[in-house]
Amino acid sequence: MKRARLGFTLIELVVVIVVLGILAVTAMPRLVNLQSDSRIAALNGLKAGMQSASDMIYPLAIRQGLTNVSDAITIEGDDIQLAYGYPAAFSRQTWSKLIEATFADGVYNADDPADWYFHNNPSQNWIRFMTKSRIDPSLQCFLRYYEATETNAPRFELVTDGC
């Protein structure tokens, strides 16, 4: 009478572990790529929201004659700082009021509930937005908004090399 075999042999167990290891190694790059894709998608979403807000503000500013280097327009009781009729780069409050997001200064704080971090350089008229996981600008994963000038509309630069 043959006895029924219970469990796995050592060889079967080793083969299963090796197969699982191979599957994990092939799946890992896809998971890492998904994180990168989600960061890029978030930056693209922020860019689209900022462009839409900027495009909606400009006609209102023109109608009210607010096209100087530094003006402000009141929308729903909030003052929005402008540069040549477009949202100014130096004010994170401007962007918090225009789009549904919270922004924190570029100093990382894990407990900060902000959606985005920013770093601005008023002397160069730009502001940079980064996700919480990519707060370091050297990681090359950010959206930079260049303020409008007298001759040019604002410009958005998306840098995703390090996302």
Q: What is the pTM for the complete model shown? A: 0.73
* pLDDT given for residue 2 in this prediction: 65
Q: What is the DSSP string of 29-60?
A: HHHHHHHHHHHHHHHHHHHHHHHHHHHHHHHH
**Predicted confidence (pLDDT) at residue 122 exceeds the cutoff of 70:** no
**17 pLDDT exceeds 70?**
yes
Q: Is the pLDDT of residue 1 over 60?
A: no
Q: What is the per-residue pLDDT for 152?
A: 92
Q: What is the pLDDT of residue 54?
A: 92
Average pLDDT, the chain: 82
pLDDT of residue 123: 76
pLDDT in tens, 30-80: 766 778 888 899 899 999 999 999 999 999 999 999 988 888 888 888 888
Task: Say which residue, 120 or 53, is predicted with more confidence.
Answer: 53
